[in-house]
Structure 1
Amino acid sequence: MPQQYKIDAVAEIESKIQNNAGVFVVNYSGLTVLQAQELRHQLRESGAEMKVYKNNLVRLALKNQEQPEIDELLVGPCAYVFYETEPVEAAKALKTFAEKSKGVLEIKGGISDGAAVSADEVKAIAELPTKDQLLGQIAGLINGFARDIAVCTNGVASGLARTIQQISEQKAA
């Protein structure tokens, strides 16, 4: 018979899986307490949360929630970074911290949009622009097209005005 605290932990993990868009798995061995606090702070700012659970409990919760199997990632000391909506910001925070900590933090992979992702794919996600940056780029493109259309329509009217001016000057002479 499983102990109650384990049942509660699995239920907590399952609710995290349900309420978040995905999870990244990282190896946190070697992190000092200060580094772990700094990483948690950076992740909170990006809309993510890092938790440490027993790998067997996470494996059970993933199976109960019918998530992809990532058993090869769940080896050794693992921390789990749950992100609410935007994987890019969480991946950027992890990648930046891993580079800054000189390899103390190792990104193992995770689950994004219901599919298993490798460490390289998490790093590729970190290279993508954020949703806000993409919306800004789209707004800039739309603004550019509107400006170009205004310049073109203004150009036709000003060209017509210059032509009429030249014709009137020729007739006056």
Structure 2
Amino acid sequence: MALTRKQKESLVDNYKVDIESSSNIVLLKQSGIPVNEINKLRNSIVEFGAKMVVVKKRVFLSTAISSGLGEVSLDDLEGSVIALFSSGENEYLPLKEVSKFVKQAKKEKKLFELVYLGGWYDSEWKDSSYVSEIAELPTKDELLSKFAFLMNYPLRSFAVGVDQIAKKGE
């Protein structure tokens, strides 16, 4: 269904507000995702101050270019596109949430697709592999727990060894 000029202007205004309030924007290709599933994902990323919106590609790209973001070809954005706007100190956690959602769907053998197309970081377009790598980076809490384990492991091994020697001496 074609949009009227007034509807397009409203979309442009909404996109401008979202673009200006975001520190990074990621585009995802989606197909076949039931509404209840996408709403679960949308609700889970709201906790991190992020927003997911299904976008009209031409209108969104023209708004992105006029807002100073790097140019992207319409040919690079195939299918239905979702924009993920995130900002704040937890700007990368929504990506982890999307990755977790996709992994869970594959595990449950659900027949839908949600794929990274790319994103704007520091107003520069990055491809899907860049976004995927960022999504797989461990969080600060995960890194701290791994570090604590690494620090604790030698002490634990030493304690187990001393305990075994003590039992052998009895």
Question: What's the counterpart of residue 96 of structure 2?
Answer: 92
Moved more, 13-22 or 63-72: 63-72
Q: Shift in Å at residue 51 of structure 1?
A: 0.4
TM-score of the pair, normalised by structure 2? 0.71
Name the CA distance, whole Å, in 2 between partners of 1:87 and 1:73: 24
Give, as a single letter, the amino acid of the residue that structure 2 aligns with 1:95: S
Moved more, 120-129 or 17-26: 120-129
Name the CA distance, whole Å, in 2 between partners of 1:73 and 1:37: 26
1:1-173 correspondence to structure 2 within 5 Å: 3-71=5-73, 72-85=75-88, 86-102=90-106, 104-130=113-139, 132-133=140-141, 137=144
Give the aligned CA root-mean-square deviation in angstroms. 2.3
Gap runs ≥5 in structure 1:
145-173
Name the CA distance, whole Å, in 1 between partners of 2:12 and 2:56: 10
Name the CA distance, whole Å, in 1 between partners of 2:30 and 2:9: 25
| The structure with more radius of gyration | 1
Residues 46, 93 of structure 1: 8 Å contact kept:
no
Q: Shift in Å at residue 14 of structure 1?
A: 1.0
Structure 1 consecutive aligned stretches of length 4 or more whose deviation exceeds 3 Å = none
Gap runs ≥5 in structure 2:
107-111, 152-170
Residues 29, 77 of structure 2: 8 Å contact kept:
no
Identity within the alignment, %: 23
Q: Shift in Å at residue 128 of structure 1?
A: 2.4
TM-score of the pair, normalised by structure 1? 0.70
Greater RCO, 1 or 2 (C-alpha within 8 Å, sep 6+): 2
Change (3 A) 1:99 1:73: farther
Q: What does the per-residue CA deviation read over 1:8-38, in whole Å, with 9 as the maximum and x for residues that have no partner?
A: 1111101110011111111121101111111
